Structure 1
């Protein structure tokens, strides 16, 4: 355990596709509720792909939070370590962001600049097809226990204690924080969520 290890806690995923945004939303909430010493960086990695490479190169420890298709019941959580992390990210790709992040890890390894420790906290998604939707209740319920697991690892394995925040903080701009994004969604009547009615009419007629 080295207390001055440079630790990157990275949430990845696409918040536009419901449970795909789990990693981003989890790290966003961690930043809102807890502050950490300067050697810990919390980051919304979104779907940035290779743009994340410089941040990985600077880290000794990488903790990734993501929605992962483990083939388990929705909401199931798993903690994956070190050499197993790239394999799990690529086993059942759910979207292009996972392919992109695999390339980031592969590039860091090729350059011999990959963090020495890799830890993945993943949750099994329930819905990935609701464009513009927020986290399902099943997956949202796993945010708090995932944060508790991250804090446990930081404390027990790296000697890093977080402090509850007393001032407001966020990783995202106000318009796309989880509360603003989900509460501002138009109703189904105002924004059709089943596709173009003209296309559907042709399809149903055929």
Structure 2
């Protein structure tokens, strides 16, 4: 099973770049996992439709307004992820783009059956290359959740 971990964000905007910071934290361990691809999705682009359509399982990591304290996070899987994307179009700077990528993949019949989003509540979105301490503290548990999810999906395949 081919799995894609897609980190989204702008690393020049403090907590907004958390998806990329999580990806960077995962890279040393997951780089050697042949069935897992780590992809820096930046601030999203339609060019990401191809990698999403080519994968069997998708994990998206992004800053999103999930109505919790800064650094709080949620794991949204399958239809729960879809519902979040469709009902909270303003919850992330990128969700219009992610929602559009979902629509493209669905039209092509390639929206992965196994999919999840790790949504991390930002505290500050302003110029700065590092997340705030509260949001940075979410990186280790989010990485653990991603590794656990990958292992679960491997056993189901």
TM-score normalised per structure 2: 0.90
Structure 1 residues 54-203: aligned runs within 5 Å:
54-90=50-86, 91=88, 92-95=90-93, 97-128=94-125, 130-159=126-155
Q: Which has the higher contact order (CA 8 A, sep 6+)?
A: 2
1:62-98 per-position Cα deviation (integer Å, ceiling 9, x unaligned): 0111111011111111110112213323513331x22
Structure-1 separation of matches of 2:64 and 2:10: 13
- Asked if 1 retains the 8 angstrom alpha-carbon contact of 2:78 and 2:116, the reply is yes
CA RMSD of aligned residues (A): 1.7
Deviation at 1:55, TM superposition (A): 0.1
Choose which of 12, 15, 19 in structure 2 pairs with 1:16.
Answer: 12
| Poorly superposed stretches of 4+, deviation over 6 Å | none
Structure-2 separation of matches of 1:59 and 1:48: 17
1:96-140 per-position Cα deviation (integer Å, ceiling 9, x unaligned): x22111100111011111111111111111111x12342000000
Unaligned runs of 5+ in 2: none
Larger radius of gyration: 1
Deviation at 1:150, TM superposition (A): 0.7
Count of residue correspondences: 154
Unaligned runs of 5+ in 1: 160-206
- Asked if 2 retains the 8 angstrom alpha-carbon contact of 1:13 and 1:24, the reply is yes
TM-score normalised per structure 1: 0.70
Structure-2 separation of matches of 1:73 and 1:153: 24
Residue 44 (1) aligns with residue 40 (2) = yes
